[in-house]
Chain A
């Protein structure tokens, strides 16, 4: 894909890293900013999303793990926002003055995580999704400062996953109420994470992010990667998920056992797996945002504005 900038084209063609805003075309910079905003917003909002559930931790140790994870997520948000700031964005405006609806994080975080079990499934599914998406960017990203910044992020996401897997295994083995709660959380959180990876490739005509090597894998490839990690693990610990493995001509694919996409009731945290819908319906639900959007962003912004009122510039 040639642009009007031969030096930029050459860096892209050679698989080189872009290191300075001076080397970017306006289109590249725009796409990079957008991708970084999604990443920063996702990390930032995971903090209040996880904190609600962390408060329900069954022990002080478990709580400490919960808040350590939250602290990691805030540091990851800092990395993305700070890179944006180096590209000329006003970080303060970005975080504290944007309309809640214009935050660009996955819809899943808008649905309240209300129990320790739901936090564990978030570590198991959401952090696994984050690991796949950011791992892909870490491996492929053409912007040097972000690629290097992600070293830290990848190391820490591993720890979140381990927390999810260890606890889920323990809960599944415990049986009874613990196991039933785990299964219930998996039932609504699995399809929500499948959706996280966005439009299927067949419906997505073109990806500028792929052209600019801001990511390496397509939506469907990322979704398959996630399924290939999550489905076998759930089966291993004896938790049901609505997907199965298929193999033909040596090619392994994970196939969903329900119509994708389908209808979700956020208040009841319930999918109607018998009610398929269109991607337009999904986009509409995403754009309207979910139950916690205004509250979580509001909580982050409120203290800042109080502080500013008390300490005018």
Chain B
């Protein structure tokens, strides 16, 4: 999917976080950014509702989905 921003070339990043050591990392949202640094900055500014003990951004294209609801299995 192509996203339009003031930067010409952007991509989607999935945002992952967790509050407690006992809980697994989970996807909490996504951001669209031109590079990793700005993706990190956007995630920090947008998903600031909790004191996360872990916060990570991953380029969406780096995720190899095997199957998902509503999607054809690809592997």
Contacts and interface: CB of A to CB of B under 8 A. Distances in A.
A204 interface: no
A221 interface: no
Contacts, number: 52
A19 B71 CA distance: 10
Interface residues of B, number: 21
A22 B6 contact: no
B37 interface: no
B56 interface: no
A82 B3 CA distance: 10
Contact of A91 (B3, B50, B70): B3
A90 B32 CA distance: 13
Interface of A is mostly: helix
24 contacts: A18-B70, A21-B70, A22-B70, A23-B69, A75-B47, A75-B48, A79-B29, A79-B46, A82-B30, A82-B31, A85-B32, A88-B1, A91-B3, A92-B4, A144-B69, A148-B29, A151-B28, A152-B28, A152-B29, A152-B47, A155-B50, A304-B6, A307-B6, A313-B8
B46 to A, nearest CB: 5
Interface in A19-76: 19-23, 71, 75
Chain B interface helix/strand/loop/mixed: loop
B46 A19 contact: no
Interface of A: 18-23, 71, 75, 78-79, 82, 85-86, 88, 90-92, 144, 148-149, 151-152, 155-156, 304, 307, 311, 313
A82 B47 CA distance: 14
Contact of B69 (A20, A71, A307): A20
Given A86-B1, A92-B4, A149-B29, A155 B69 contact: no
A241 B45 CA distance: 38
A155 B49 CA distance: 7
Given A75-B48, A79-B46, A92-B4, 5 more contacts: A22-B71, A79-B29, A82-B29, A155-B49, A156-B49
